[in-house]
Amino acid sequence: MIELAIIMPVVLVVILLIVQSALWFHGRQIADAAAREGARLARVDTESWQQDAESRAQEVIRTVGPKLLEGATVTAWAEGDQRGVEVTASAVQVVPLLPSTTFTVTARFGGPVECFRPDDGSEGCQLAD
């Protein structure tokens, strides 16, 4: 009985840490999926690419894991001819004594803007700002 009383808190802490790491990993997968879907729309050359990309990423978060990621912020970015989306959120916290910044999830995906560029050397793609 004494051995059980000594070992049981350690076993419970280990189980909670395993569950916490699984929730963090799952939250990271959701953030990756949202950023990837948003980046897919950000790379299309349209006038409303920023709004489309951010709303698509938010939609993925709402659909797949609305309670697994807390305080999710979605930001569409552009650097030259590269566009993408960055998602930052906090995974659900099961272990109460750990700091909440430990479970921050950040996912960033992007790539070149997809547009037609003719072979004759003429200007074929004007990026919409």
pLDDT tens, 33-47?
Answer: 999 999 999 998 778
Q: Could you tell me the two tokens for 16?
A: 């909670």
Lookup result for tokens 């953030």 = 31
pLDDT value, residue 76: 95
Higher confidence at residue 81 or residue 57? 57
pLDDT value, residue 113: 86
Element (H, E) at 63: helix 49-64
Across 95-115, average pLDDT = 83
Higher confidence at residue 74 or residue 101? 74
Q: Answer yes or no: is pLDDT of 62 > 80.
A: yes
- Looking at every residue in the chain, the average pLDDT score rounds to 87
Q: Answer yes or no: is pLDDT of 89 > 80.
A: yes
Across 52-64, average pLDDT = 94
21 vs 86: CA distance, rounded Å: 22
pLDDT value, residue 65: 80
72 vs 87: CA distance, rounded Å: 7
